[in-house]
Amino acid sequence: MPVRWSERDSFGHPVLMRLGKGASASISSMAQAMGIAVVPPEIAMVAPGQALAVESLAE
């Protein structure tokens, strides 16, 4: 899912904000994204504060 972040937690990890409410490939959401959060297939719903892997689009 496309994500942005503007702050980091006490461990230095980005605090993610999901972009868009529709499909993960929405063009407007992808254009604003700083990265793509990788949600494992066994996770049905992401809980607030849950750690996720992120593929940065900026690097």
Res. 58 pLDDT band, cuts 50 70 90: confident
CB atoms within 10 A of CB 14: 18
d(CA 19, CA 13): 18
Across the chain, the runs of DSSP E, i.e. the strands, are 2-8, 14-18, 35-38, 53-56
For residues 24 and 3, give the distance between their C-alpha atoms in angstroms, rounded to a whole number: 10
The residue to which tokens 């992401």 are assigned: 46
pTM: 0.76
Q: How confident is the model over 14-26, as a mean pLDDT?
A: 79
What was the pLDDT predicted at 25? Answer: 61
Distance CA 24, CA 2 (A): 6
